[in-house]
């Protein structure tokens, strides 16, 4: 999975406990049925067991930008992303994933193009943006992730 960046809120996906605003982590775990869909995920939840399960089934998350960009102006955000695209492509090549899911509309096209230029187009599961799981997009995110997982198993 490739997402935009860690959030400025401090709710980094791989931190051991939740801060209460862990949208991507929470909705990913719900989509994978590691957390009940009808159960809220509050501050202080130990994420480590779910992260181990996430990793054990072959999943991991890379961020297009190392530092948070969610509070930057749109132009600064794009510049940060384009400066870090070569590093992202190198990280993906080094990880050598079987399948790739790009999360967030703002990065879908540039990441997809950069991965295609690196010869990885056939590994990208989504043909369009997967919305970030906040602001009402949670159900769409969960269903899209589940569909991508099904598609990945069909293509493996």
Tell which wins on pLDDT, 140 or 21.
140
For 75-119, the pLDDT digits (tens) are: 999 999 999 999 999 999 999 999 999 999 999 999 999 999 999
User: Helices (DSSP H) in the chain: which residue ranges?
Assistant: 23-31, 48-56, 74-95, 105-117, 138-155
The tokens of 140 are what? 């769409």
Cα(26)–Cα(36) distance, rounded to whole angstroms? 10
Does the pLDDT at position 143 exceed 60?
yes
Cα(59)–Cα(45) distance, rounded to whole angstroms? 20
For 12-36, the pLDDT digits (tens) are: 999 999 998 899 999 999 999 999 9
SS3 (DSSP) at 55: helix
SS3 (DSSP) at 86: helix
Distance from chain centroid for Cα 27:
11
Enter the CATH code of domain 2-155: 3.40.470
């Amino acid at each position: 999975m490739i997402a935009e960046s860690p959030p400025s809120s401090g709710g980094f996906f791989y931190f051991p406990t939740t801060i209460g605003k862990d949208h991507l982590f929470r909705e990913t775990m719900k989509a994978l049925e590691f957390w009940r869909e009808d159960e809220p995920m509050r501050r202080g939840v130990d994420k480590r067991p779910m992260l181990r399960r996430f990793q054990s089934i072959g999943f991991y998350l890379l961020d297009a930008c190392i530092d948070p960009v969610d509070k930057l102006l749109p132009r600064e955000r794009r510049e940060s992303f384009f400066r870090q695209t070569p590093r992202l492509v190198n990280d993906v090549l080094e990880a050598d994933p079987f399948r790739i899911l790009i999360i967030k509309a703002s990065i879908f096209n540039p990441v997809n193009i950069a991965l295609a230029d690196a010869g990885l187009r056939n590994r990208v599961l989504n043909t369009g943006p997967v919305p970030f799981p906040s602001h009402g997009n949670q159900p769409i995110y969960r269903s899209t992730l589940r569909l991508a997982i099904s598609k990945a198993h069909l293509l493996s």
